[in-house]
Chain A
């Protein structure tokens, strides 16, 4: 086992009665000092993972390790983790100071140390001077900070955050994303962040676990997951994408919409049926002659940063294009893209096989002398 792995799941399953499992044979490792995000739609099992780590629920099967020690039977109050809850779960009968001091008082720390630590934690989250406020007098964003201060004051090795930003308005959410990321860097504590918001996950994480139907679909850095999604679910869930069925003709040659295109993938079986992904921002509007695809503009939305243009080719496939230039609805246009823009996904590939294949590319590229 790697030394810096602080949390490890080994074949963990969580199942209620005879319902389909919420978590199905999940294994992963969490390293010290990184910002992790568990990302997925509601009901994918991400919060269950958090509750298993915190100790609020027990695994039906499998083992959970913390710093190399099995913690399946360790109760929540004996675990070195603290949670920031979705609804903050601040104690309404205590003021800000006492909320933050709660964990320290239970540890029977003396009042001088408590005072020092509470004030330190509050200044960490920019709430200096709010000590004597009641919780009901605080705004949503401030409550959020109190909840974070209450967690960090205990100096846990891991902080679990259960969709903590979902109740905030958009502007505050963006602000808190920066603050959380900054806080994690300053503290150097492992953060495990649960969200269903892919933008949030991409912006904040060192590592993302994408979950669906109780299984980890893909794990990796935000860039890996965005650029190299393993399957249709990940490609669709993370960002906008054009996903089409195709066929791998040969190394570096792929066929879809009845045409052949140069690509950068290799090592697949000849004539293997595959799916391809092209991100809308990788499609460039050009003239019909220059375009690799010829499409008709169907509709267009102005999104502020870019136009979102929906086009159809003559086979009826929809092509989503993000462009800073506007197009005219009804026009026939050409779409150009680089070979690198095509990402090939094998059907039913596991994460292990996928990683191996990606590594092979790097080796292959090295062999080509690139």
Chain B
């Protein structure tokens, strides 16, 4: 009895936190989503979501989040793999993580300088004879900067799963006749898939609702669900529609989580 009581006491802060900052906001969002702009209870927002404008926006959000995740993965996996082979791996890892401690906004502003018309990228292109280009406010700059921001979150879980991999398994695969590529395909990758999955989760889900970068780097040329929510809450004051989009975003996140859910395997 005594034990159970103390255990429940310890649970209180956690339960409070979850109730106030997770469950309550979700319920509030759900509540607002049933009101139209005049404050009348209706399902009009949900109807609106299934119009081409919002479906296109959803699709475009998915597409950009997918590209950002894919490119992050393609860059992060080999990087993480090479990191595990270096002598001072923890130091190298730290160097990769450090930029993620800097505020997102600061990094975005830094890229404004780098990619701007008179920035160093264009100066360089000028020097090598290609000439000045419009880099800022393009799909390229948006994806590039997003990948840059998300990549530490992709590298970390992959690095961890590679570190956990028993090196003798690689010897064993070699011993059984597997070439380097076959060893990667049949042993290393399947055994680090959990790291890849959690990396994809931490990149894809936030990428789906990016809004600041779409404004600063993509110059509002890329409209994602995140941008739409921001616009509805701050500009059009249509909280109902904003909440509806958020509801769908939450549903999509849960779906994505369950699809990439990690099933623990191994000895």
Contacts and interface: CB of A to CB of B under 8 A. Distances in A.
A135 interface: yes
A102 B190 CA distance: 14
How many chain A residues sit at the interface, stated as a range, is: 20 to 34
Interface in B176-213: 176-179, 182, 186-187, 190-191
Task: Classify chain B: how many residues form its interface, as a range.
Answer: 20 to 34
A54 interface: yes
Contacts of B168: 85-87, 89
A106 B178 contact: yes
Contacts of B38: none
Contact of B177 (A85, A91, A135, A154): A154
A136 B190 CA distance: 16
Interface stretch (A15-23, A30-38, A76-84): A76-84
A111 B267 CA distance: 27
A92 interface: yes
A107 interface: yes
Contacts of A102: 173, 176, 178, 186
B191 A93 contact: yes
B171 A85 contact: yes
A92 B177 contact: no
Nearest to A138: B267
Contact of A103 (B166, B171, B177, B179): B177
Given A106-B182, A136-B267, A89 B177 contact: no
B162 to A, nearest CB: 15
Contact of A135 (B171, B175, B182, B267): B267
Contacts of A86: 168
A93 B265 CA distance: 7
A82 B175 contact: yes
A161 to B, nearest CB: 12
Interface in A325-353: none
Q: Which DSSP category, helix, strand, loop or mixed, fits chain B's interface?
A: helix
Interface of B: 166, 168-169, 171-179, 182, 186-187, 190-191, 265-267
A87 B265 CA distance: 18
A77 B178 contact: yes
A56 interface: yes
B217 to A, nearest CB: 40
A150 interface: yes
B178 A89 contact: no
Contacts of A81: 175
Interface in A74-118: 75-78, 81-83, 85-87, 89-93, 102-103, 106-107
Interface-centre pick from B171, B179, B191, B265 (highest chain A CB count, 10 A): B171
Given A92-B191, A92-B266, A93-B266, A54 B175 contact: yes
Nearest to A153: B176
Interface of A: 54-56, 75-78, 81-83, 85-87, 89-93, 102-103, 106-107, 135-136, 150, 154
Contacts of A76: 171, 174-175
B176 A56 contact: no
B266 to A, nearest CB: 4
Contacts of A56: 171, 174-175
A87 B178 contact: no
26 contacts: A56-B175, A77-B175, A77-B178, A82-B175, A83-B172, A85-B168, A85-B171, A87-B168, A89-B166, A89-B168, A89-B169, A89-B172, A91-B169, A91-B187, A92-B191, A93-B190, A93-B191, A93-B265, A102-B178, A103-B176, A103-B177, A106-B177, A106-B182, A136-B267, A150-B176, A154-B176
Contacts of B175: 54, 56, 76-77, 81-83
A148 to B, nearest CB: 13
A370 B191 CA distance: 67
Most B Cβ at <10 Å: residue of A56, A85, A89, A150:
A89
B266 A136 contact: yes
B267 A92 contact: yes
A150 B173 CA distance: 11
Contacts of B182: 106
Given A91-B172, A92-B265, 16 more contacts: A56-B171, A77-B174, A77-B177, A77-B179, A85-B172, A87-B168, A89-B168, A90-B267, A92-B191, A92-B266, A102-B173, A102-B176, A102-B186, A103-B177, A106-B177, A106-B178
A88 B16 CA distance: 48
A86 B169 CA distance: 11
A185 B141 CA distance: 68
B176 A82 contact: yes
A93 B164 CA distance: 14
Given A92-B267, A135-B267, A136-B267, A107 B171 contact: no
Most chain A beta-carbon neighbours within 10 Å: one of B166, B177, B190, B266: B177
Interface centre among A76, A81, A103, A135 (most CB of B within 10 A): A76
Contacts of B266: 92-93, 136
